[in-house]
Structure 1
Amino acid sequence: MQIQNIGLIIAAGVIAIIIALFQYMYKAKNRTKKNLFFAFLRFLSVFALLLLLINPTFRKNTYYVEKPTLVFAVDNSSSIKHLKQDIQVTQFINKIKESAELKERFDIKYYSFSDVLKDTLSLTFDEKQTNISEALESLDQIYKNTNAPTVLITDGNQTYGRDYQFSSINYKQQIYPVITGDTTAVTDTKIQQLNVNKYAYLKNKFPVEVILTYSGVDDINTRFEVKSGNNTVYSQPVPFSEEKNSTVINFTLPASVAGVLKYSARLIPIENEKNIVNNRKDFAVEVIDQKTNVLLISDITHPDLGAIKKSIESNERRSLTIIKPSDVKDIEEYQLVVLYQPNARYRGVYEKIKASRKNYFTITGSKTDWVFLNREQDIYRQEITRQTEYYLPRFNPNYGTFLLDDIGFNGYPPLIGTFGEINMKSSYDALLQRNIGNIKTEEPLLATIEDNGVREAVLFGEGIWRWRAQSYLDNKSFESFDDFFGRLVQYLASNKQKSRLNTISESFYYGNSSIKIKAEYFTKNYEFDRRGNLNIVVRNKDTEASQTIPMLLKNSSYEADLSSFSSGNYDYTVVVVGENISRSGSFSILDYDVEQQLLNADVTKLRQVATNTKGSAYFMNQEERLILDLIKDQRYQAIQKSKENIVSLIDWKYLLVIIIILLSIEWFMRKYNGLI
């Protein structure tokens, strides 16, 4: 309590005494013992009322015991069931839940994981991917400020993601791996990895690389073969021994027919081989008979040129040629022309573009000659200021020319453009808009224009190489930016007329991948329509079974998730309910379950994880030992903590009750004695 409040309380007591004595002693005609009693009651009631007005505060400490958190993270992938450990894992968790000693010592939290971490223990053991590293990183963020040892129940087989053996070094908690699955080494041959490009070009040959492995001690001979339908297109004998337990086979296959070519790679199983699922792997290649050639014309050297080239050529179906405007002879062989910071030397280039009606992409910046550019075309005009400005990108969610997601543009660095107003004289669709610092403008930073059958895109700023670098910093890969730039190039390189309904799908999917078909639906003014009711009808070509699925609105597209579909060949039709508009396509799902390729638990990695984090590794039949070790470990102690609360006197409701009682007693006694 503050000293100031103490002084006020003393003053309140003095005032209450003065009021009580003045009323019942000084003014009283007859001073009796009753007057002293009445004065005492009045003193208490007045003093209590003054205390309420002063409202002093008191500090109250409450003490509680905080137990350490014990985290159980359970692998929910299908490899657990494939290794016939699903029942044992469930029984193990039940025994943990029944342990009263653990409950008394720890605050127990349960999680499951496969490709992502989930705060639920609904175990189905049917997830198709495992990312142990992602699960540990998520738990590390959740419990970064607490003492939370982690019991990791898994077979240690990870299908993708960072190597958890090394990423666990930075994990702040102790990890206790509980190893599930068979740890006995058995004789096995398998296709460890098959590498092939997704696309190939007609009348070319595409390379295939296969890594084959063997675990065993005997010398064996088997055969590797690749079939297309019933035809064997490649075959090779493969010897293995204890010393030579792996081999790499490189070969090429002809891309003789356009379309999706499906193949089945098979390593002939040896006698009495336990797991033959991992001896087969299906793959496919889409053979295309057209390659997009892009011409980039630049009169200066700039880092943007390298970023654009890398981004465009990340797709093998596209190639980029960079030349100076003075070297341009013929542009007919190119599907798209990129004009980088044009100036007066581009006059002949613009004449060729107009004559051939080529689609083009204009990128402006600090070196752009806007006097020339304003005169050369009449679609947009830039105010001439001879000054530069930094422009931040802002994604336009209403962009509807083609399907595109926000890849994090709001966090991208600014581009350098010419300061001044842009006047668009033709209809356009702004993909990105300008921000100047914290000021939002409606002026376009990146816009697409379709005028008289010719498509153009304009980027009003240089420095796009920084965007590609930022994409890598954000996502540890260039994929998101390259996909964004690739979609822009795909739109510009095509002369396909606009349609009110477009669909996006791959020609084939692997069975362990996410299978999503997207559609974009526009109004008659070609503005994205969020009010549409779209259904997709999917038909299995092999069984003739069909299924109608509603498509959900997600960002600027409609989407259907078909990841639960089994392998096979499918046709689909997207229909707009209430309108005579539909689009059809087809795709294939290749049979592949990476979790079934696994034969044993990865004991070595899990033990190393325990060592990295100062924990211990256990097997499924050692639950009693695990419980005992956790209880005895002195690193995990309950901590007594205190919490200080500041309580105001006005919050104490009983004081008001006391005041009412005092005043009531005083009134009743005075009434009884005839003083009222």
Structure 2
Amino acid sequence: MTSLTTQYSLWFLPICLIGGFLFAWFLYRKETKFNEVSGILKNLMFALRFLSVSIIAFLLLSPIIKNLGKTIEKPIIIFAQDNSESVLSDKAEIETYSKKLKSFFKENQKYNYKTFVFGEKVNETDTFNFSDKETDIAQMLSDVKNRFYNQNIGAIILASDGIYNKGNNPDYEINTLNFPIYTIALGDTNIRKDLILNDVKYNKTAFLNSKFPFRIRIKANKLKGKTSELKIFDNNKLVYSQRIKIISDDFYKSYDLKLKAKKVGFHKFKISLSNIPGEINTENNSKQIIIEVSDKKQKILILSDAPHPDIAAIREALKLNQNLET
């Protein structure tokens, strides 16, 4: 549907026409240089002048032509396939499962389908081999939300065993979504005993003789009442240890700690949890990170056009940070 609107009332349109007519009439009424022009040509010139002035006056009303159209957009259905080893029960079923999925998408044309495979990484593809050793459900949900921001998402179909050993708890990410999630239970959905060094947050650079922080997130399934030991090694030298007591079968906790930078250079830190008998997987009990220790402090120059007590206060405040030099 097409419509015409103006910034001002359309009642001004007759005024534009009258103004154009009067302008042309006054211009040609007593102009002697047009006396030799034929009547037809003079009338044509009058009409062109009338139209041009009227159109210019009309454009001053700021006209806008609106063209409204209706487009029906199919909802997007996201199919997210868990590609981890724990999902697969029989390798012979991979090809059959893949064919049935593609056939289902082809027969149901009410929606636009997007297929994602997730495990160690998130990829938009319909090919999977169930070979990943890690599963990060929260990262997949976050990627889908960001890629299809402000689009017509109908739902996510999540095909997984629900077991994750990397990243944050997916419940936190689910609460930020504005579309439903439907699940297909695959593989062995029983939660097995497992201790997981879930994540390590740290700064890649530290300064000599200062303390640098770690945030270590630990998860444990079906290990209530068990204990483990958190150890941190700096270039194979033990620099920190702490006893971890698991108080629930769905244990998840963050530990904040600080270590002192005593030597300049690159330091390879290994963060590990001692194994607990009965764990289904012990490869996720440790992580390695690299931190550079530097002795070059950040220099700050304080300039003032006159002495002032606030300058001394600012310097004293900056001295509290060992990484700054004034």
Shorter-chain-normalised TM-score: which range? 0.5 to 0.7
Partners of 2:254 and 2:146 in 1: CA distance: 34
Structure 1 residues 152 and 248, CA gap change in structure 2 (3 angstroms): closer
Match of 1:165 among 167, 174, 186: 174
Contact kept in structure 2, 1:213 and 1:247, CA below 8 Å: yes
Give the Å deviation of 1:229: 3.7
1:261-340 matched pairs, under 5 angstroms? 261-297=267-303, 319=324
Distance 1:199 1:67 in 2: 49
Rate the CA distance shift 1:237–1:159 in 2: closer, same or farther, 3 A.
Answer: closer
Aligned-partner residue type, residue 194 of structure 2 = D
- Superposed displacement of residue 273, structure 1: 0.9
CA distance 1:181–1:133, change in 2 (3 Å): farther
Contact 1:207/1:252 (CA < 8 Å) preserved in 2? Answer: yes
TM-align CA RMSD: 4.3
Residue 83 of structure 1: aligned partner: 86
Does the C-alpha gap of structure 1 residues 210 and 92 become closer, same or farther in structure 2, counting only changes over 3 Å? same
Of the three residues 96, 100, 103, the one matched with 1:98 is 103
What letter is aligned with 2:115?
Answer: Y
Q: Counterparts of 1:223-622 in structure 2 under 5 Å?
A: 223-242=229-248, 245=251, 249-297=255-303, 319=324
State how far apart, in whole Å, the 2-side matches of 1:167 and 1:244 are: 22
Offset, 1:244: 10
Contact 1:70 1:106 in 2 (8 A): no
Stretches of structure 1 that go unaligned for 5 or more consecutive residues are 1-65, 300-312, 320-332, 335-676
CA distance in 2, matches of 1:190, 1:183: 18
Residue 138 in structure 1 maps to residue 147 in structure 2: yes
2:145 and 2:158 mapped to 1: Cα distance? 9
Deviation at 1:67, TM superposition (A): 11
Give yes or no for contact 2:269–2:289 (8 Å, CA) kept in 1: yes
Q: Which has the higher contact order (CA 8 A, sep 6+)?
A: 1
Does 2:228 correspond to 1:222?
A: yes
| 8 A contact 1:67–1:105 mirrored in 2 | no
Corresponding residue of 1:206: 212
Instruction: State the shift of 1:264 in Å.
Output: 0.9
| Number of matched pairs | 232
> TM-score with structure 2 length normalisation?
0.55
Q: Aligned runs of 1:176-191 on 2, under 5 Å?
A: 176-180=182-186, 182-191=188-197
Partner of 1:405: none
Query: Is 2:196 aligned against 1:193?
Result: no
CA separation in 2, counterparts of 1:69 and 1:89?
28
Deviations 1:405-453 (A, max 9, x none): xxxxxxxxxxxxxxxxxxxxxxxxxxxxxxxxxxxxxxxxxxxxxxxxx
For residues 230 and 149 of structure 1, do their structure 2 counterparts lie closer, same or farther at Cα, with a shift above 3 Å needed? Answer: closer
Query: In structure 1, what is the Cα distance between the partners aligned to 2:149 and 2:262?
Result: 51
Deviation at 1:132, TM superposition (A): 1.5
Change (3 A) 1:175 1:298: farther
Query: CA distance change for structure 1 residues 267 and 162 in 2, over 3 Å: closer, same or farther?
Result: closer
Structure number with larger C-alpha Rg? 1
Shift of residue 95 of structure 1?
A: 1.2
**Structure 1 CA distance for aligned equivalents of residues 200 and 100 of structure 2:** 42
> Secondary structure in 2 aligned to 1:98?
helix
Q: Which amino acid aligns with 1:83?
A: S
Matched AA of 2:231: E
Contact 2:230 2:271 in 1 (8 A): yes
SS of aligned partner of 1:203: coil
| Amino-acid identity (%) | 21
Residue segments in structure 2 that go unaligned for 5+ positions in a row: 1-71, 306-317
SS class of match (2:206): strand
Opposite residue 73 of structure 1, the aligned amino acid is F
The 2-side partners of 1:263 and 1:283 are apart by 5
Decide whether the 8 Å contact of 1:201 with 1:255 is kept in 2. Answer: yes
Change (3 A) 1:318 1:85: farther
Q: Is the 8 A contact 1:189 1:279 kept in 2?
A: yes
